[in-house]
Every structure is written in C-alpha cells, then in structure tokens.
Amino acid sequence: MSANSSIFIIFAFIVALIIAYAATPLAQRLAFKIGAVDVPKDGRRMHKEPKARLGGLAIFYGFLISVLCFGDFFLPGGGLNVNLAGILAGSIIVVVLGMFDDMKPRPAILKFLIQIVAASIPVLLGVRVFVISNPFTDSVILLPTWLSIIGSIIWIVGVTNAVNLIDGLDGLAAGVSSIAAIALLSILLINHSHSMTLLVMAAALAGACFGFLPYNFNPAKLFMGDTGATFLGFILACISIQGPFKTYVAFTVPLLVLGLPIFDTTFAIIRRIIKRQPIMAPDRGHLHHKLIDQGFSHRTTVIILYGLSAILAISAIVILLSDMSRALLMVISVILFSVFALTLRNHPEAEKEKQSAEEKKNEQE
C-alpha cells in the first residue's frame, strides 16, 4: 500500500471522528425539538430519564462527509462507482426510516419491507456474494444469480436488525460496531485490498463511532436510536460482502466479526418462537439484559461484551492468516456457548438483590 493510501485512510478516520463528535450535540438538540425522545416506560429500558434518540445522525454525517472526501466515486476508467453509490443510496433510506421511527415507532412489517428495498439497491448494483467457501471442506460454490441476490439481501437486512437489537445499553452498539469496523479494515489491509473505497468506508465508520462514544458511553447523554443502529448494521453488512470477504462469507470472517449481534439475534428469534411471541417483539432476554440481571454493572456488562466482540474479531483475523480454521471455529463455538451459559448462572450480587426483594415483600405481607 502506498503512503498516500495510508494517509487517506488515517484522514478518513480522523475526519469522521471530528465531525461525529461535533455534530452529536446538534443532533441532541434536534431530537428534543422534533420529539425523537426515549421515555423509560417499561422494564427493558436501562435509563430513568427521557433522552434524545437521534445520535445516529451524527454518526451518519461523520461517515458520509468522510467518504465523500476520500472515497473513490469514479473508477480508474472514468465510470461511476455504482457499488458506493448504491450503498450510500440504501443507507440514506435506512437513516430516514430510522429518524421517523425514532420520532414515532412504525409497524415492524413496514420497517422490514423498507429495509428490503434499501438493501436491494446496493445488491442489484453489484454489492453481493458471488462465491461461498465452506471452512469445514475445501469446496467452493459459485452461486446462481438469483440465490446471490436473495442471499445478499437477507444478509444485509439481517445484520441491519442484529446491530439494532443489541443497542440496549449505553455505548454497546457503537463500541461493538467500531470493533467490527476495525476488524474489517484490518482484514482488508492484510489482504492488500486495492479498493480505496472499502478501506475508507471501514475507517470512516470506526471514526464516526469513536466520535459518538464520548456522548454515548455510560452514563449516556443521548442514544443513537434506530437512526444510528440500523445505519451501522447496514454499512457493516455491505462492507462484509465485498472484496476479500466474498469467498469467506459462508461461516467464517463476516460471521465472526459480527458474531455478537448475530449470536444474540439468533437466540432472540429462537426464544420468541419458543414462547410464541412475534419475532420482532421487544423483550428483556438479550445477552446484555442477562448480564445485568446477574448483577453486573452497566459499564461492566458493556466492557464484557466489548471483550467478547474483540475475541471474535481477532479470531476472524487469525483464521484468515492460518490453516487452523476448523479447530479455531470449534474453540470459538465452545467459548461462545460457555459465555452464554455463564450468563444463566446466578451472580452473587443478583442473588443478594433477589433475597432482599423477597424479604421486603414478606415484611410488607
């Protein structure tokens, strides 16, 4: 990689960080002005006071301006970079939808359909998976066009919602997304990617998240809302099925890099099906809720999940660099299920709180 390319990547990160940091207070004021406020009204919410929900706008602006400054909108031959144009067009739809949802919750089916439309734009313009490799075998499968399109749309919509679902604690979605973006950037660099656009997008996304985190880490001054969480998921999904990721999309790199939201969402869907609840219905059964309920503090829970995300991201990079993919996947699977099992155990502090609550109840009776 040339020195100029490295400078572009660094500047993309810094510009996105500065703009997101500067724009966050403006997004907060706008949120209160238009009524995009999260009022705690049920047990799922971890805050006690109304807070602005449009913080994701600052992330979007930081990312967008950075990509506009440093991304390649025109190919070497002079043609338009339709992949980038498609991603930005789709992301704008996702952000606008998120803004309306942050002001007033919209029907889940409506949001889902609009997300499909948004995902279809980059996919039909070439942002999709063409080849799948299975880490448990040496086989490579060339996907038929129809399956490539449908599978890629499902992936983008799925990751978009997965990141949104983990946005339940201060700083969680922004931190996990920044870790994922840095991992994707690292993999692109390791593979000597010649796509400056992908490199800039990953760097800009990480920078925008870092710029937003000072306002969002516990205790948060505002939330990113659906505006930010769905945007982060959308961009991460689009990056993860381009360049060197196309041949690893089956079970390895993107799956591990985005492991936490995918893992949590998968269990959420299974849990709701078993309980015969609507799949999109909110509940208090997510991994971060489990850790909180076991007695871990808000900050400790977020840091634990940061650590888990980092382990998965590093594992993805190691798998890419070695021939140990099968063994590593087995180890990582054991780690994931061990962590999940630990969250189900009674934490001492949680047990004390439970006993105290029972004693108070008995005294009242």
Question: What Å distances lie between residue 296 and 135, 173, 282, 300, 357, CA to CA?
Answer: 36, 18, 22, 6, 17
pLDDT category, 134, cuts 50, 70, 90? low
Tens digit of each residue's pLDDT (9 = 90 or more) over 53-85: 899 999 999 999 999 999 888 766 667 789 999
3-state secondary structure 16-64: HHHHHHHHHHHHHHHHHHHCCEECCCCCCCCCCCCEECCCHHHHHHHHH
pLDDT category, 124, cuts 50, 70, 90? very high
Weakest mean pLDDT among 18-32, 141-155, 276-290 = 276-290
For residue 351, the model assigns a pLDDT of 47
Q: Contact at 8 Å (CB) between 63 and 88?
A: no
For residue 79, the model assigns a pLDDT of 73
For residue 50, the model assigns a pLDDT of 80
Average pLDDT over residues 277-287: 65
For residue 346, the model assigns a pLDDT of 47
Q: What is the mean pLDDT of the chain?
A: 81
Compute φ and ψ for 18, nearest 5 degrees: -65, -45
Q: Where are the alpha helices (DSSP H) in 166-297?
A: 172-190, 196-216, 225-239, 253-257, 259-274, 287-293
For residue 203, the model assigns a pLDDT of 96
pTM confidence score:
0.83
Weakest mean pLDDT among 28-42, 87-101, 350-364 = 350-364
191 vs 221, which has greater pLDDT?
A: 221
Average pLDDT over residues 232-261: 74
pLDDT category, 301, cuts 50, 70, 90? confident
Q: Contact at 8 Å (CB) between 301 and 288?
A: yes
pLDDT category, 237, cuts 50, 70, 90? very high
Q: In sequence order, what E strands does 78-136 have?
A: 131-133
Q: What percent of the chain has pLDDT over 70?
A: 74
Cα–Cα nearest to 244, from 202, 305, 306 = 202
Structure tokens at 188: 């692109």
E strand or H helix at 142:
strand 140-142
- Among the ranges 35-44, 215-224, 276-285, which has the highest mean pLDDT value? 215-224
Weakest mean pLDDT among 39-43, 84-88, 108-112, 197-201 = 39-43
Tens digit of each residue's pLDDT (9 = 90 or more) over 302-351: 888 898 888 888 877 877 776 555 555 555 655 665 555 555 554 444 44
Average pLDDT over residues 280-296: 66
Q: Distance (Å, rounded) from C-alpha 122 to C-alpha 86?
A: 4
Q: Which of helix, strand or coil describes residue 124?
A: helix
Q: Which long-range contacts (CB under 8 A, 24 or more apart) does 317-326 make?
A: 317/183, 317/186, 317/187, 317/190, 319/135, 319/252, 319/253, 319/256, 320/187, 320/190, 320/191, 320/248, 320/252, 320/253, 321/190, 325/135, 325/252, 326/135, 326/136
Q: Contact at 8 Å (CB) between 128 and 241?
A: yes
